[in-house]
Amino acid sequence: MKLKENIAEKITRLTITYIFVFVAVFLGLFALYFHITTDMSTTWLVQLLFVDLLLLMSAILKPLVDITIEFFKDILKNS
């Protein structure tokens, strides 16, 4: 049973990471498309790309946070 829980946890983590990446890429393409096709100011583009950057950074850092949490769980379990 423990093996199935580990596989389910890995699939859940991977799915969340892919959702972050998909949303970030979609927002980036959305911002670039509307920047090219409209004459709106660039402040909204910069704000949207900032949100895009935050989502990409969270997708990149999520595995590191998961590894750190697992490390501390193992330390607490063994002590």
Q: Where are the beta strands (DSSP E) in 1-79?
A: none
pLDDT 10s digits, 34-75? 778 887 777 777 787 788 788 778 878 887 888 888 888 888
pLDDT tier, 3 (very low <50, low <70, confident <90, very high otherwise): low
**Count of the separate structural domains present in the chain:** 1
DSSP label at 31?
Answer: H
CA 22/CA 43 separation, integer angstroms: 23
Global model pTM greater than 0.85? no
pLDDT 10s digits, 4-43? 667 777 788 788 878 878 887 887 788 778 778 887 777 7
Domain ranges, residue 32: 2-78
